[in-house]
Amino acid sequence: MGDRSLTPSEQTARAPRERTDWSDLGPRIASGLILASAGVTAAYFGGPWLAGACGAAVVAMSYEWARMSEPDNLTPAFMFSLAGSLGAVMFSSWQYLSYGFSWLVVCAALSAFRRRTLTGVIETAGGAIYIGLPCALFVWLRDRAPEGLETILALFAIIWSADIFAYFGGKLIGGPKVAEGLSPKKTWSGIITGTVAGALAGYGCGYLFHASADLHVAWLAIGALIAITGLAGDLFESFLKRRFGVKDASKLIPGHGGVLDRIDSLMAATLLVGAALAFGPRATALLFGTGL
């Protein structure tokens, strides 16, 4: 019989299966444990400890953003973003979040005046706010009495569970990509396993923090919502890196890339929780079993 062309299904069957690359697993685990330990310690002590940790993160992320968005004008981009974000964190540590946000917007606008195109203005002003606002909100959330620490620990538990299971789910299960043009390694299997893990972590937080029994389902839904928000934040960071033509925000963290690469999920989730508490300030009292 003569040769015939293969059908698409036959080509897929004969194509060599993509091998899973675990080369970054060791550095990821080591770096993750160190960062997690530092984060929990800073959150536990709060006050200047957490403000200092967020300030250090701001320094790194401001540099990473300037490096990506304005490599030819790195110094002014870095300094404006750093001044605005550090100021926002400082005001927030004193529980003056509105002042911190105002200062951040002023610094972002001043920096944006250097740009000559609308795209450049959005990149510069948006980047400063993208870095500073989540960090300021994070400090503000921690200092909210009496559920501040519990709020941060719940965020950690849900986001870290989602990130870990999304990573292993995507590696082990594989399957269709979420957005190959943005991030060729992210799969729907990773998104699903990460969301389920976040939901279960939220459910566990309901028990751990002694929420009433009728709120355990609410904790399940909250965990899923925070997890999917964090995973969307990770995808958004991939979009930004593709927009600027870089693989990683920097090489500061072995196995993870930069600080922006590592805490993008937590930043997005912090924005969600901060916005939710702006509309329902007593929600945490009910969720953590301290409300009347």
- pLDDT value of position 254: 75
pLDDT at residue 12 greater than cutoff 50: no
Average pLDDT over residues 95-118: 95
pLDDT at residue 96 greater than cutoff 70: yes
CA torsion 190-196-201-204 (nearest 10°) is: -160
pLDDT at residue 45 greater than cutoff 70: yes
Query: Phi/psi of residue 247, each to 5°?
Result: -85, -45
Q: Residue ranges of the domains in the chain?
A: 31-143, 146-292
pLDDT in tens, 241-268: 888 988 888 888 876 788 998 999 999 9
pLDDT at residue 292 greater than cutoff 80: no
Average pLDDT over residues 182-197: 89
pLDDT in tens, 159-171: 999 999 999 998 8
Nearest to 220 by CA among 235, 240, 198: 198
Lowest mean pLDDT among 7-21, 104-118, 148-162, 259-273: 7-21
DSSP 15: S
Nearest to 162 by CA among 119, 202, 122, 116: 202
